[in-house]
C-alpha cells in the first residue's frame, strides 16, 4: 500500500498529461491519492476527477491565499460540495503569513469558519500553516478541532509544535522536503513522531523531492519521500509504505 495524502491534480501544470501522471502513480504502487481543492472552482474540478477514478479521493476548502473571497455564499456552496461521498475532509484551509496573498483578518475568518464547517460535517480538517505556527494552534484549540482531528499538511514546524498537534489528535504529513540535504528540522520531527501518526505527501506539482528537485512534482514521486522516512525511522520500506497508507485510510475514512 502507498497513499499520496495531499496532491493537486487539477492544477494547470498537469493539463497536458494528467492521464499519464495518474497512470505513473498507479505503476509506482499508489493505491490511493487525495487531491485537494483550494477554492470553489478547484473543488468542482477535483470532484469531476474523483468521479472518474475510483482510487482518487478529495478534500474541499478555501486556501488561505483565496480567503479574501470567503463569503457566506462561498461557505454555503462549499458545504453543498462537501456532501459528495468522496469528499473526505475540509481543506486545505489555514494561515499563510509568508505570502499574505489574502489579508490576515480574512485568513483568520475563513479558517475559523471552515473548522466549524468540518465539525458540522463530522469531517477532519486539512491545515495549511506557513509562518503562523502559534496562531494556527490557537485557532485549532478555540474551534475545538480536537473533536474532529485532521492533518497538518506539509509540516514545517518543530518538534515542540508537532507534539502539540499530536496532542490534539492531528496527523503530521511529510512532504518531499524531507529529502533536501539541509532540511534537518523536518527529519527531527519524523524521528520524534510515532509511526502511527505520520502521512506522506507530494503537494504536487510543488516541493519535488530529490532526485527530481527543480522539476515538476507528481504523485509517483511520493515513493522517494516514504523511502527517506523509512531510512530515518530505520524500518523496512514496505512497512513504512503500509503504515503511512493505513494512517491515511484511518484519518480520511477510506474503505
Stated as kind and residue range, the H or E segment containing 32 is strand 32-36
Distance CA 235, CA 241 (A): 10
Q: State the cell numbers at 170.
A: 492531528
Position 200 confidence tier, pLDDT thresholds 50, 70, 90? very high
The whole-number pLDDT of residue 255 equals 87
Evaluate whether 153 touches 173 at the Cβ level (below 8 Å): yes
Instruction: Tell me the mean pLDDT in the region 147-174.
Output: 97
pLDDT by residue (tens digit) across 220-242?
999 999 999 999 999 999 999 99
pLDDT at 4 over 90: yes
* Phi/psi at 14 (5° precision): -105, 5
Task: Walk across the sheet containing 87-96 and list its strands.
Answer: 3-7, 32-36, 56-60, 87-96, 125-130, 150-152, 170-174, 198-200
Stated as kind and residue range, the H or E segment containing 26 is helix 18-27
Mean pLDDT computed over every residue of the chain: 97
Instruction: Tell me the mean pLDDT in the region 3-12.
Output: 98
Distance CA 85, CA 153 (A): 22
Distance CA 207, CA 215 (A): 9
The whole-number pLDDT of residue 127 equals 98
Residue 247's DSSP bridge partners are none
Evaluate whether 62 touches 78 at the Cβ level (below 8 Å): yes
| pTM of full prediction above 0.75 | yes
Q: What is the DSSP string of 88-120?
A: EEEEEEEEETTT--S-HHHHHHHHHHHHHHHHH
Amino acid at each position: 500500500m502507498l497513499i499520496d495524502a495531499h496532491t493537486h491534480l487539477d492544477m494547470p501544470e498537469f493539463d497536458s498529461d494528467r492521464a499519464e501522471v495518474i497512470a505513473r502513480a498507479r505503476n509506482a504502487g499508489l493505491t490511493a491519492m487525495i487531491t485537494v481543492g483550494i477554492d470553489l472552482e478547484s473543488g468542482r474540478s477535483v470532484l469531476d476527477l474523483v468521479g472518474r477514478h475510483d482510487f482518487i479521493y478529495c478534500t474541499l476548502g478555501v486556501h488561505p491565499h483565496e480567503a479574501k473571497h470567503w463569503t457566506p455564499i462561498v461557505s454555503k456552496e462549499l458545504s453543498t460540495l462537501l456532501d459528495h461521498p468522496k469528499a473526505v475532509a475540509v481543506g486545505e484551509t489555514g494561515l499563510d503569513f509568508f505570502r499574505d496573498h489574502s489579508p490576515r483578518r480574512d485568513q483568520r475568518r475563513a479558517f475559523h469558519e471552515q473548522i466549524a464547517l468540518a465539525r458540522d460535517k463530522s469531517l477532519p480538517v486539512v491545515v495549511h500553516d506557513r509562518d503562523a505556527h502559534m496562531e494556527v494552534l490557537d485557532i485549532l484549540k478555540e474551534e475545538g478541532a480536537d473533536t474532529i482531528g485532521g492533518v497538518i499538511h506539509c509540516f514545517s514546524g518543530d518538534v515542540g509544535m508537532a507534539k502539540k498537534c499530536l496532542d490534539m489528535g492531528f496527523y503530521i504529513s511529510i512532504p518531499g522536503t524531507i529529502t533536501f540535504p539541509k532540511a534537518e528540522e523536518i527529519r527531527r520531527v519524523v524521528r520524534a513522531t510515532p509511526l502511527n501518526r505520520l502521512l506522506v505527501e507530494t503537494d504536487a506539482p510543488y516541493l519535488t523531492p530529490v532526485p527530481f528537485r527543480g522539476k515538476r512534482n507528481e504523485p509517483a514521486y511520493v515513493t522517494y519521500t516514504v523511502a527517506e522516512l523509512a531510512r530515518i525511522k530505520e524500518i523496512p520500506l514496505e512497512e513504512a509504505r503500509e503504515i503511512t497508507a493505513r494512517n491515511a485510510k484511518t484519518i480520511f475514512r477510506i474503505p
